[in-house]
Amino acid sequence: MGKDIGIDIGASTVSVYLKGQGIALNEPSIIAIDKDSGNIVKIGEEARLLTGRTPGNIAILRPFRNGINIQYDILTKMLAFFVRKVCGSRIFKPRAAISVPSDLSQGEERLVTEAVLAAGIKKVYLIDETIAAASGAGLDISLPSGNMVINIGGHMTAISVISLNKVIVSELLQTAGDSCDEAVISYLCKSHNLTVREETAEELKKAIGIIQQSDRQPEIKVHGIGYYDGLPRTISLSQNEIAEALTVEADMIAGAAVSLLEKTPPELIADIKKNGITLTGGGAMLPGLSRLIGEATGIKTELADNPPICAIMGVGSFLDRLSELA
Ligand SMILES: Nc1ncnc2c1ncn2[C@@H]1O[C@H](COP(=O)(O)OP(=O)(O)OP(=O)(O)O)[C@@H](O)[C@H]1O
Ligand SMILES: [Mg+2]
């Protein structure tokens, strides 16, 4: 029998879940392409290892940084690669459940489905990423009771109010992990005349990123290039400076949660006040973010356990029930 698999293709990470076994693969959503031929030469972790080490004709790209729906060929090739890596070359094609952003149009859904089928999958189930994340965070979303989930990924934040396994109202914004990295880059440029690479900004964010100012003032050395003279320089950056750099992004996410609550039916608001708000996705891991959202909404807000894997775990739990559903 072919194995059933769950797939979460994120802007930052691709995860594959094997039915009955758990997460079988977690790799960066990166490809290396040959600029002359346009061919993909490496995918995932193998492509990441080439970062900063490539000859001029090889480019390292993050193809889904603006969503998975616009790169049909690349999506198919990456999926085929990862499916083969997890399932081996089997005669029987697997079925797959895949999480997708909730703003896909019907046409885009069709395109994603076709790309998955072309990658050697025999049947595809699309699952809204916030539904998957809520379920992977351990919420019982099958009840007639409102839950608010804020999934902060690499390129997108999706906020959904969910009841009876359905998204009732939602809000999507392109403020998420990547835009936080960009905010750090632009802060360093403006305040320290220092140019740093995206990877450096992301490392800084993960190492000392914080949302609200604190009395502790850990500092970190940052290596970059002088904005005016182009010469290598090292500066010292404090944690409160990162907090300052991330203020706008954090306020946008908290503001979007408040405005979604304004569009939420009162009965569900009462439920959410009781159940609280749950944060999922890697971008939610900034210390202080849950507190900020809690203060802005007046509702208890908690970070899920292991936020980056909530979506794939939710896809997995759907998959584990798949024989009943198919
Ligand atoms: N400890 C951390 N602190 C802050 N941010 C983090 C941390 N760990 C991961 N991130 C950020 O989480 C983001 C990736 O999250 P996630 O893996 O949920 O995204 P994705 O599912 O690939 O993207 P999307 O859902 O937008 O397609 C990145 O921006 C990364 O920098
Ligand atoms: Mg995601």
- Does residue 295 sit in the same domain as residue 146? yes
- Does residue 272 sit in the same domain as residue 293? yes
- Does residue 261 sit in the same domain as residue 166? yes
Q: Which atom of ligand 1 is nearest to the CA of 13?
A: 22
Expressed in angstroms and rounded, the spacing between residue 283 Cα and the centre of ligand 1 is 4
Residue 154: Cβ-neighbour burial (10 angstroms; 0-12, 13-18, 19+) = buried
Residue 53 lies in a domain: no
Q: Tell me how many domains the chain contains.
A: 2
Residue 47 lies in a domain: no
CB-ligand 1 contact for 282 (6 Å cutoff): yes
CB-ligand 1 contact for 316 (6 Å cutoff): no
pTM assigned to the model: 0.95
pLDDT at residue 321 is higher than 90 = no
Q: What does the alpha-carbon distance between residue 137 and residue 275 come to, in Å, rounded to a whole number?
A: 13
CB-ligand 1 contact for 28 (6 Å cutoff): no
269 pLDDT band (50/70/90 cuts)? Answer: very high
Residue 42 lies in a domain: no
pLDDT of residue 325: 53
With the most atoms of ligand 1 within 8 angstroms of its CB, the residue from 12, 155, 246 to mutate is: 12
Q: Which residues contact 123 (CB under 8 A, 6 or more apart)?
A: 95, 96, 326
- Does residue 73 sit in the same domain as residue 202? no
Nearest CA to ligand 1 atom 29: 177
- Does residue 255 sit in the same domain as residue 271? yes
Q: What does the alpha-carbon distance between residue 169 and residue 259 come to, in Å, rounded to a whole number?
A: 11
Residue 152 lies in a domain: yes
CATH number of the structural domain spanning residue 252: 3.30.420.40
Residue 51 lies in a domain: no
Residue 284 lies in a domain: yes
How many residues in the chain?
326
- Does residue 201 sit in the same domain as residue 280? yes
CB-ligand 1 contact for 224 (6 Å cutoff): no
Give per-residue pLDDT as tens, 24-73: 999 999 999 999 998 999 999 999 998 878 778 899 999 988 887 778 88
Residue 98 lies in a domain: yes
What residue numbers bound the domain in which 318 lies? 5-29+64-132+311-325
2 pLDDT band (50/70/90 cuts)? Answer: low
pLDDT at residue 1 is higher than 70 = no
- Does residue 228 sit in the same domain as residue 279? yes
- Does residue 162 sit in the same domain as residue 284? yes
pLDDT of residue 117: 94
- Does residue 286 sit in the same domain as residue 187? yes
Give per-residue pLDDT as tens, 80-136: 999 999 988 767 789 999 999 888 889 999 999 999 999 999 999 999 999 999 999
324 pLDDT band (50/70/90 cuts)? Answer: low
Give per-residue pLDDT as tens, 199-218: 999 999 999 999 988 777 78
- Does residue 165 sit in the same domain as residue 126? no
Residue 297 lies in a domain: yes
pLDDT of residue 91: 72
